[in-house]
Structure 1
Amino acid sequence: MKYRKKPVVVEAVQFNPSYSKNWKECHDFIGGFSGERNFIDETWREKNRSERIPCVSTDDGIKQLTNKDYIVKDGFGNFHICKPDVFEKMYEVVEG
């Protein structure tokens, strides 16, 4: 049998650490620092406080973001990290 993935509309934001405003945009998109779903930076497990380490809590655990990764929020409110090349193949803009 063959199957086709149904078209799904998701929300997403691209992480770009070069722009300080983007940190806030990502933080706000995830919903801040409260609860299970959060955007963690300087306090990431007390690891290296001199370095900002952006991470997102996903169903697969806490994932570290790298430059240009997309944070994707699916229809169920779950967050996923997607590499830019994969994201651009899977999604197209439906509204700005």
Structure 2
Amino acid sequence: MSVIEIDKLPPGVGEFVKKPVRVRAMQFTYPTSQELIDWVGANMGTPMKAKDGKSKAQVRILTLEDGAPGSSHQVEHIATEGDWIIQGTKGEFYPCKPDIFEETYQAVNNA
């Protein structure tokens, strides 16, 4: 796959800037804090040993993409230790890798 130069975008491809949207987030650590468990609630599975071998633990996060419980449309959204769990604008939760989180979000001063 080749990299397309920004000045040579294919017809119909536009450039966009993400709107400033305020979200809430908490970092997944192991052992998992009671605050995170209480906050995410039933949208978080049981933390278990990480399969990637780089982290101590991982946890499944149920998102809007998962559909209704028991749905045949199930997507695996896994947070590993250090990932951020974000609550979006519709109350949904989803994991985000730390480097992407730092690139995309900044803390809000609640003064």
Q: TM-score, normalized by length of structure 2?
A: 0.61
Query: Could you tell me whether the CA contact under 8 Å between 1:53 and 1:64 is conserved in 2?
Result: yes
SS at match of 1:54: strand
Which residue of structure 1 lines up, in the alignment, with residue 33 of structure 2?
Answer: 23
- TM-superposition CA deviations, 1:67-96 (whole Å, max 9, x none): 100000111111111000000000000046
Aligned-residue offset at 1:53: 4.9
Which residue of structure 1 lines up, in the alignment, with residue 25 of structure 2?
Answer: 12
Q: TM-score, normalized by length of structure 1?
A: 0.69
Q: How many percent identity over aligned positions?
A: 32
Q: Where do 5+ consecutive residues of structure 1 fail to align?
A: 44-51
Query: Could you tell me whether the CA contact under 8 Å between 2:84 and 2:101 is conserved in 1?
Result: yes
Structure 1 runs (4+) greater than 3 angstroms displaced: none
Q: Where do 5+ consecutive residues of structure 2 fail to align?
A: 1-13, 49-56, 66-74
Q: Number of matched residues?
A: 80
Pairing 1:13-92 to 2, within 5 Å after superposition: 13-17=26-30, 20=31, 22-30=32-40, 32-33=41-42, 38-41=43-46, 53-60=58-65, 61-92=75-106
Query: Could you tell me whether the CA contact under 8 Å between 2:58 and 2:81 is conserved in 1?
Result: no
